Amino acid sequence: MRVFIAVEVPVEIRNAFAAVQRELERSTNSARWVAAESIHITLKFIGEVPDRRVEDIHAALMALSWKPFTARIAGVGFFPGTRSPRVFWAGLEAPTMAGLAEELDSRMERIGFEKETRAFRPHVTLARSKDTRLDASLVAAASEYREYEFGSFPVDRIFLFKSTLKPSGAVYEKLREYLL
């Protein structure tokens, strides 16, 4: 089973993403757009695990104690940058989220999962390139949303998700909920 730990994004903000995606879809056909109902904030991607390991992950997350915080989603950008963009994202401001991601990474490492090699960069993925890169036309059209305010929301829980890959895209299912 393929699993990850994430924050759920409220429906109002996902609707705002969908509106921007619909607007920008017209400017490109190089993007695979993330379905609004699938949008989340990944804190720790664990990957493929045997079913029995889910209980180990659950035990490690049960003892988590973290203070709730507010996440603000504003602006858009591209990874790795605008010269050769492969991912289109919305920006995320949540000062303690990086610390939470590090804590989750440490807990998962203690139970035998690989530690992240890259620094946590809070963002919400809105689209990925179909091939090698996103069109310059999308970069230009997206500049209109550089400072766009999608909204803020309280983060008072995280979820363990199961991800099932299908030809139509990944399907996510919440396995467990953990209050902060």
Cα 123 from Cα 120, distance rounded (Å): 9
Cα 141 from Cα 173, distance rounded (Å): 33
Among candidate residues 14, 44, 107, 123, the one labeled active-site is 123
Cα 26 from Cα 137, distance rounded (Å): 10
Residue 141: count other Cβ atoms within 10 Å of its Cβ. Answer: 16
**Crossing angle between the packed helical segments 97-110 and 53-62, to the nearest 10 degrees:** 130
Kindly state the DSSP code that residue 39 receives in the 8-state scheme.
Answer: -
Among candidate residues 20, 31, 40, 87, the one labeled active-site is 40
> Are 89 and 124 in contact, with CB atoms under 8 Å apart?
yes
> Are 52 and 59 in contact, with CB atoms under 8 Å apart?
no
**58 labelled catalytic:** no
Query: Which amino acids are annotated catalytic?
Result: 40, 123
